[in-house]
Chain A
Amino acid sequence: MARAPQTLFEKVWRAHEVSPESAATPAVLYIDLHLIHEVTSPQAFALLRERGLPVRCPGRALATMDHSTPTLTAQVFGGAPIAIDSAARQVRTLEANCREFGVELLGLTHAQRGIVHVIGPELGLTQPGKTIVCGDSHTSTHGALGALAFGIGTTEVAHVLASQCLLQRKPGTLAVNVHGRLRQGVTAKDLILAIIGRLGIAGGTGHVIEYRGETIRALDMDERLTVCNMSIEAGARAGMIAPDETTFTYLAGRPRAPQAAAFERAMDAWRQLPTDAGARFDREVDFDAAAIEPMITYGTNPGMVIPIGGFIPERADDAAFGQALAYMGLTPGAAIKDQPVNVVFVGSCTNARLSDLRSAAAVLRGRHVAPGITMLVVPGSQEVKRQAEAEGLHQVFLDAGAQWRESGCSMCLGMNGDLVGAGQYAISTSNRNFEGRQGKGARTLLASPITAAASAVRGRVTDPRELT
C-alpha cells in the first residue's frame, strides 16, 4: 500500500522519532549531530557534571570555538593573551569540558576551526536527512543540505549531551516557492532578505520552511547555506532545501562524508528525501526572483528592509518605528542609497565562505576603500582562509585597505572585541541589525558581500551593479 505523500521535513522528522508525540507528551527526537561552541555549552557540561552523567554519544558531537574568540593573529597564534578575560576563561572552560567528557574539539589553533555553521558543511559532517542541533539560532544554516537543523538553548544542549535526544513538538510546514532566476547583481543574501521582508520577522514562527522552486535549484551550496542561515530571522524553526545533484557534488570527497561505496549507498537514501508530489504544506508563499533587487536593511530588525534603490518608509503613527529610525539616525522618506557609512564587515555564518570572499574581492580588485572607512574581512573558517590566501584574495583585501583576520563570528555580535563604535554606520554581511548588537549604539545595515564591498569603495550605501 502506498503511503501518503510526505514533505522532506516530514520524512526526516519521522525517521528520527524515538517515540512520536501524543496529546500528553512531546516526541522524543534522536539527534544525529550535535555541534558545540564555547558560549552556550559551559552550563550544559556543568549540569552533566552535577548529575554525574556522561556524554551518551561523544562520537556524535563536535565542538569548536567561534563567538568569543579573537580574530587578531597575535592573539590566536602569537602567544598574546586573549584580551577579554571572560572570553579567555570561556575558551579554557570548553577545552577542559571536552577533555573531561571525551568530546572532539577543534580548538583555537586547530587547522579546521571556524564558525560552527561553516565547518559542519565544509567537513562533510552536515548531510541530507540528518537531525542537527547546536546552541545557536543560525543552526538553520545546515538545512541547505536537506538536514533538519535547528537552534536550541543551553539546557537542551545538556539534554542532547546526556541522552542524544530532545523533546520536541512537531512544527508546521511553510513552503517558500521561488520562481524564475535572480538577476545579475542580485545574490542569495538579497533573496533571503526579500523573503524576510515579505514574511516579517515572526512570519515563520512555529514552522519549518522548505525553500522550493527553480530559483532555489539553481543556487550553489554556498548560496543555499546563506538562504537557510537566515530562516530564523523570519521566526522559523528551521529552513530546508531538498538534496539534489548540487548537494551530492558538494559533499563528494569531503573528509567526514561517507566515502566510495558508502557514498553511493548514501546517495541512494538521500534521493528518497525530496518532498513527494502531492504532499501538503500548512502554508505556501510564492516569490518571483526576477522582481528582487539588491536589498539593504534600514532599521533594527531584519524585516525592516528595502531594495537598495528604495526609500525609507514613512509610518507617522507608529511610535516604535519612529524610535527605530531615531536610533538609526535615518529619516522617513529618504533614499537609503548614498547614506554614508563608517565600517564595512564581510564575515559571519551568513556570508563568509570562499564564494562570498571571491565576490567581494571582485569588486575591490584594483580599487581602494574610501577615506575613513574601516573594513574587516573575516573568513568563515581557517580552511576558507587558506583557500582564499591560495587564490590571493587576501592581498586584494589588504591592497584595498581592508583588514584580513583569522576566522570567527567577530563583528557579527562583537563578543570578542571586534566592535562597531556608537553612532557608526556599519554595512555588514551578517544576519542581525538589532540595536547594539555590533556594539553599543552601532547602526547596522545588512547587505550582500558585493553591496558591502561596493559601499566600502564609495564610502556610502552603493548599488553593487554600479561597480561591475
Chain B
Amino acid sequence: MEPFTTLRSRTVVLPAANIDTDQIIPARFLTTTTRTGLGKNLFADWRYEESGAPRADFALNRPAARACQILVAGRNFGCGSSREHAPWALLDYGLRAVVSTQIADIFRSNALKNALLPVVVDESTSNWLIANPGVEITLDVAAGTLTLPSGVSAQFPLEAFARHCLLHGVDELGYLLTRADEIAAYEARA
C-alpha cells in the first residue's frame, strides 16, 4: 500500500445525508470477483438515465468532478451494507477521501483498509464545504487537519494505528501475521 501523507484537491459535493452503500454501489454489481473496475458503476442509479446516458446535473458527472479526489457528503455517509465494494468503487472513480460529520462504522473500517481517508469534521466546517463545492482543500494525515482555502484548519479524528498505517503504507495483514506467536499462545491457552 502506498503511504498517504497529504492530499490537496478540489472537492465534489453530495449534500444528502444517510448515503447508504446500496446507493454507492448497487447490489447487482457485487458479483465481481476483483476489486477494480467498479468506478464506472459508482452511484450508478443516481448517475445514469434509464438509457445509460450520464445525467448532466449529477455532481460526479460534471467535467470539473473528474479531477476531484475529495468527496464531501451529508452526515452518516456509508451506512447500511458492509460491502467493501463501496470504498473500492469510490477509489476506482478517483476519490481518495470522504468528508462528513458522521461516517458509518463498517464503511470507515473498510475505507481505512484501502487508504480511502475518512474525515469527520464538525457541523460548521461541513456546512461551509457543502455550500462551497469545488474549493481546494488540504488534508494532512500526520496533523489530522483539514485546511480550507482561507487557511483555517479543522481537526479530524484518526486513531493512532490508522494514522501510522496510512503514513507508512503499512499493510494490516502483514502486521497481523507478525503477531503469529501471540495468536498461537492464545490458541494453546483456549
Chain A interface residues (CB < 8 Å from chain B): 18-19, 23-26, 28, 30, 39-40, 42-43, 46-47, 51, 53, 56, 67-68, 84, 86-87, 89-90, 93, 135-137, 151-156, 158-159, 162-165, 167, 169, 171, 201-202, 205-206, 232, 235, 237, 301, 320, 323, 413-415, 432, 434-437, 440
Identify which of A19, A232, A415 contacts B30 (C-beta below 8 A): A415
Q: In the complex, which of the residues B22, B28, B179 contacts A28, with contact meaning CB atoms closer than 8 Å?
A: B179
A201 adjacent to B79 (CB under 8 Å)? yes
Given A137-B106, A235-B79, A436-B45: A30 and B186 interface contact (C-beta under 8 Å):
yes
Contact A154 B179, beta carbon cutoff 8 Å: no
Q: Which of B59-67, B134-142, B169-177 contacts A (4 or more CB under 8 A)?
A: B169-177
Partner of A89, one of B23, B33, B176, B183: B33
* Residues of chain A with a CB closer than 8 A to B180's CB: 163
A-B pairs with lowest CB-CB distance, top 8: A86-B31, A153-B84, A153-B110, A42-B33, A151-B82, A137-B82, A155-B113, A434-B22
Give every chain A residue within 8 A of B30 (Cβ-Cβ).
Answer: 39, 67-68, 415
Set B23, B102, B109: member contacting A435, Cβ < 8 A: B23
Contact A159 B173 (CB under 8 A): yes
A50: min CB distance to chain B, Å:
10
Nearest residue (CB) in A for B160 is A24
Q: Using an 8 Å CB-CB cutoff, how does the interface string of B67-80 with A read, 1 for contact, 0 for none?
A: 00000001110011
Q: A201-B76, A206-B105 are in contact. Are A43 and B83 (CB under 8 A)?
A: no
Q: Give the distance to chain B from A273, nearest Cβ to Cβ, in Å.
A: 16
Interface contact B182-A47, CB-CB below 8 Å: no
Chain B residues with Cβ below 8 Å from A165 are: 176, 179, 183
Apart from A24-B160, A53-B177, A232-B106, what are 20 other A-B pairs with CB-CB below 8 Å?
A: A19-B179, A23-B160, A28-B176, A28-B182, A30-B187, A51-B173, A56-B183, A86-B32, A89-B33, A137-B81, A155-B114, A155-B173, A162-B176, A235-B79, A320-B18, A413-B81, A432-B20, A432-B22, A434-B23, A436-B23
A67–B18 CA distance with the chains assembled, in angstroms: 24
Partner of A436, one of B22, B75, B175: B22
In the complex, the chain B residue whose C-beta lies closest to that of A68 is B31
Q: From residue 5 to 31 of chain B, which have CB atoms closer than 8 A to chain A?
A: 16-18, 20, 22-23, 26-28, 30-31
What is the CB-to-nearest-CB distance from B57 to chain A, in angstroms, rounded to a whole number?
Answer: 14
Residues of B within 8 A of A414 (CB): 27-28
Residues of A contacting B161 in the complex (Cβ-Cβ under 8 angstroms): 24-26, 167
Interface size class of B (residues with CB under 8 A): 35 or more
Residues of B within 8 A of A51 (CB): 173
A23, A26, A137: most-surrounded residue (chain B CB, <10 A)? A137
- Rounded to whole Å, the gap between the CB of B161 and the closest CB of chain A is 5
Partner-A contacts on B (CB < 8 A): 16-18, 20, 22-23, 26-28, 30-35, 45, 74-76, 79-84, 102, 104-106, 109-110, 113-114, 159-161, 164, 172-173, 175-177, 179-180, 182-183, 185-187, 190
- Say yes or no: A159-B176 contact (C-beta < 8 A), given A68-B31, A151-B82, A201-B79: yes
List 14 A-B residue pairs with CB atoms under 8 Å apart, sorted by A's residue number: A18-B185, A42-B34, A56-B183, A90-B33, A137-B82, A155-B172, A159-B176, A164-B187, A201-B18, A202-B18, A301-B18, A414-B27, A415-B30, A436-B23
A19→B27 contact, CB < 8 A: no
A contact residues around B74 at 8 Å (CB): 320
Identify which of B34, B105, B114, B190 contacts A30 (C-beta below 8 A): B190
Residue of B nearest to A32 (CB): B190
Q: How far is the CA of A235 from the CA of B106 in the complex (A)?
A: 9
> Is B82 a contact of A136 with CB atoms below 8 Å?
yes
- Chain A residues closer than 8 Å to B27, beta-carbon distance: 67, 413-415, 437
B residues near A435, Cβ cutoff 8 Å: 22-23, 45
Closest to B114 in A: A155
The distance from the CB of B26 to the nearest CB of chain A, in whole angstroms, is 6
